[in-house]
Amino acid sequence: MDLQSRWYGRPGILRLLWPVELLYRSVMWIRRFAYAHKWFSVADCPVPVVVVGNITVGGTGKTPLVQALVQHLQASGWNPAIISRGYGRTGTQILAVTAQSQADAVGDEPLLLFRRTGVPVYVGAQRVAVLRQLLAAHPQVDVVISDDGLQHLALARVLDIVLIDATRRLGNGHHLPVGPLREGPERLDSALVIYHGDVTEVPATAYRMCLQALEPVPLYPSEEWVATRQVAAFAGIGHPQRFFNQLRLFGYTVEAHPRPDHYVYGPEDFANIRFPVLMTEKDAVKCQGLAPSGSAFIPVEAVVSLGVWVHLDQVLRHWRKSHAG
C-alpha cells in the first residue's frame, strides 16, 4: 500500500511516526503564534493579495480556480497578476513567465496559467520578493493572486481561499508525515472554504466548485483531433483517478497512465503506446515534442458557487475603501 493510500485511508504503520507528527504540529503552531504576535514581520503590500491554497498535501484543483479568479477580477475592472513558487522547476531565481518559457524553468502550473490568462505571472520561492519584483515591472497591477502560499505567513493577504477535495477531504485526519495535513482543520475558520468535486453535503459556511471539461484540443496546432473511443490517458496531477473517471463518463475506454504530480515526462513515457494519447492541459505544457502525433488534451474550467464571487467582491471593496486617498 502506497503513501497516498495510507494518508487517505487507515494510517497503519505510519502511526509509528507520531513523534515526528507531534514535532511538526508544534513547529507549525509556534510559527503561526509568532507571526500572530508580531515576533516575525509581515510585509505590507500596496495591493490586496488573495491566497489560494490547501491544508493537505496534493492537488485539489487550485489552477483552474486561480484562472477563474483572474477572469472574474478582469470582468470586475481589476488588473490582476499571479505569483507562484513554481513547484518542480529547476531554478530558484525569480522569473517572469513569458510565451517562450519552458515548464522546467518556471513550473507547469504557472506556465499553464500564463497561457490561459495572459496576465503577468512571476515565480519564486520567497513570495514577498516575487511580489515586489512583479509590481515594479507592472505598476498597473492592482490585485495579486498567490497560487499556493497558504503557509507563507510573511506575505500579508486580504483573503485566504482553501480548496478541499470533496472525495478525499482531510484524509485520515493526521498531520505530516502520518497524514496529509499541513495544518489542522481549525485553519479553515479564518478562510473562505471551497469543496471541489461531487459532494452532497458541505458545511454551511463553505462553497462548491466543479470542473467543466471542454472539447479535446490537439497538442500540435497543425493537427486535428480525430474522435476515438479508445485512448491512452496520461495524468500527472494530484489526483489522476479523477481525470480517468471523467473520461470514462464521457464514454472513453481508458488505458490509464497515472503519473505523480508535476511529473517530468520523457520519450520513454510514450513508447509502445497503442492508442491515441489524451492528457490533462497541465501535462500538455510539458509534452510537446515528446507525445506522438495525434495527441490531444482536455481543457477544464472551474464552475464556482456565486457566493464565492460575492464574498471576494466584498473583501476587495472594503480594501479599496480603506485605502482610498
Residue 228 contacts by C-beta under 8 Å, 6 or more apart in sequence? 275, 276
Q: What is the pLDDT of residue 35?
A: 92
Strands 207-213 and 143-147: unpaired
- pLDDT tens per residue across span 212-248: 989 999 999 999 888 788 999 999 988 898 899 989 9
Q: Where are the domains of the chain?
A: 3-210+303-322, 215-298
Q: What is the pLDDT of residue 1?
A: 59
pLDDT at residue 89 is higher than 90: no
Q: What is the C-alpha to C-alpha distance for residues 174 and 11, in angstroms, rounded to an integer?
A: 8
**DSSP bridge pairs for 303:** 210
Distances (CA, A) of 146 to 163, 199, 281: 13, 26, 20
Strands 300-304 and 207-213: antiparallel
Q: What is the pLDDT of residue 325?
A: 64
**Inter-residue contact 79 to 141 (CB < 8 Å):** yes
At 92, the pLDDT band (50, 70, 90 cuts) reads confident
Q: Where are the alpha helices (DSSP H) in 44-126?
A: 62-75, 103-106, 108-117
Q: What is the pLDDT of residue 201?
A: 76
Q: What is the mean pLDDT of the chain?
A: 92
The set of long-range contacts for 243-246, using a CB threshold of 8 Å and a minimum separation of 24, is 243/280, 243/298, 246/211, 246/213, 246/298
Please state the pTM of the whole predicted model: 0.93
What mean pLDDT is predicted for residues 93-110?
94
**Inter-residue contact 157 to 146 (CB < 8 Å):** yes
Give the percent of the chain with pLDDT over 70.
99
**CATH 3.30.450.20 corresponds to the domain 3-210+303-322:** no
- pLDDT tens per residue across span 263-286: 999 999 999 899 999 999 999 999
